Amino acid sequence: MLKLISIVESLGVPVFMVFMEEQEKYIQALIKLHRGLERQGPGDINYSNYILSQISDLPTNPRIADIGCGAGAGALFLADRFKSKVRAVDFSREFLDELEDRAKQRGLEHLIETIECDMGSLDWEPESIDLLWSEGAAYNLTFKGALKAWRPLMAANGIAVISEMNYFTSEVPEPVRVYMQNAYPTIGTESENAGHVNSSGFEILGIHRLPSKAWWDNYYGPLRENMNSLKHSKESIMQSVINETEEEMKLFEEHEKYYGYSFYIMKAV
């Protein structure tokens, strides 16, 4: 999913208009590649449980949002755990349909409200969310941009949990830096991101690194199976998406100690 941001960021108007059709095809190929997967990014249910165990100040029936929910691994986990309603936001109808099917299969449909919209334009009532959850999706607005866009939604003392891909060190190997310049130019270190948190009306309660095993077991592993079944596709755009995903995986395999996802647990202050 990483390359998508580079395309979106590198295209300006009017070039954007010219390439819009290509971009739309790219997004559709990306969605097709991720179809049927439980997750569209790295994560792990046991690790999510661990993250929740670090939070003590939530109301019994929190008002929850999962932003950039994809097919809803996070939304379903939260609905089940809190038996509370979850607003699940994504701009892909296809992923939201998968989430609705899964919610039905698990008897959780009464707790899931799917909302097809842009995560950067949520016109919800201010201060209406007690627990904001977003895994692997904030980068679409940049981490700083997501904090700014979502802070007004937070209830007093509300908790936000955002998993963000970041550097684990300021000494980043050249191949990683070069790749990120294209894929995610605004990627920061944990301490840079902590600075954004502190200047955005949040207080950091903790920063926790998602183990790399969760990338392989729950995301890249299943994704590779989809790649294998689509590798003979006649669509050239699908071939590009598969090649770029291979490149992304190889980079992570070789350099996983330098970057990855960190969960930021934050309290609205």
Candidate residues 140, 142, 193, 245; the one interacting with ligand SAM per rule CB under 6 A: 140
In the bound complex, what is the minimum distance in angstroms from residue 2's beta carbon to ligand SAM? 8
98 touches ligand SAM (CB under 6 A): no
In sequence order, what E strands does 136-183 have? 154-167
214 touches ligand SAM (CB under 6 A): no
74 touches ligand SAM (CB under 6 A): yes
Cα(159)–Cα(265) distance, integer angstroms: 7
Residue whose CB is less far from ligand SAM, 43 or 188: 43
260 touches ligand SAM (CB under 6 A): no
The residue assigned the tokens 């309603």 is: 85
Q: Where does this chain touch ligand SAM (CB under 6 A) — which range of 16-24, 112-120, 230-238, 243-251? A: 112-120
Q: Where does this chain touch ligand SAM (CB under 6 A) — which range of 15-23, 54-62, 117-125, 206-214? A: 117-125
Candidate residues 3, 29, 33, 43; the one interacting with ligand SAM per rule CB under 6 A: 43
* DSSP run (H or E) holding 116: strand 112-116
By CB atoms closer than 10 A (0-12, 13-18, 19+), residue 95 is: buried
Cα(214)–Cα(217) distance, integer angstroms: 5
In the bound complex, what is the minimum distance in angstroms from residue 83's beta carbon to ligand SAM? 21
Candidate residues 45, 80, 91, 124; the one interacting with ligand SAM per rule CB under 6 A: 91
195 touches ligand SAM (CB under 6 A): no
130 touches ligand SAM (CB under 6 A): no
Residue whose CB is less far from ligand SAM, 33 or 268: 33
39 touches ligand SAM (CB under 6 A): yes
Candidate residues 3, 52, 70, 111; the one interacting with ligand SAM per rule CB under 6 A: 70
List own/partner pairs for 106-111 with CB under 8 A and 24 or more apart.
106/76, 106/80, 108/76, 108/79, 108/80, 111/79, 111/83, 111/84, 111/85, 111/86
Cα(109)–Cα(246) distance, integer angstroms: 35
Candidate residues 26, 77, 95, 202; the one interacting with ligand SAM per rule CB under 6 A: 95
- CB-based contact 153:120 (threshold 8 Å): no
- CB-based contact 121:141 (threshold 8 Å): no
Which candidate, 50, 46, 43, 49, places its Cα nearest to that of 210? Answer: 43
In the bound complex, what is the minimum distance in angstroms from residue 87's beta carbon to ligand SAM? 12
87: its two tokens = 């607003």
**Contact residues for ligand SAM, defined by CB under 6 A:** 1, 39-41, 43, 68-70, 73-74, 89-92, 95, 118-120, 135-137, 140
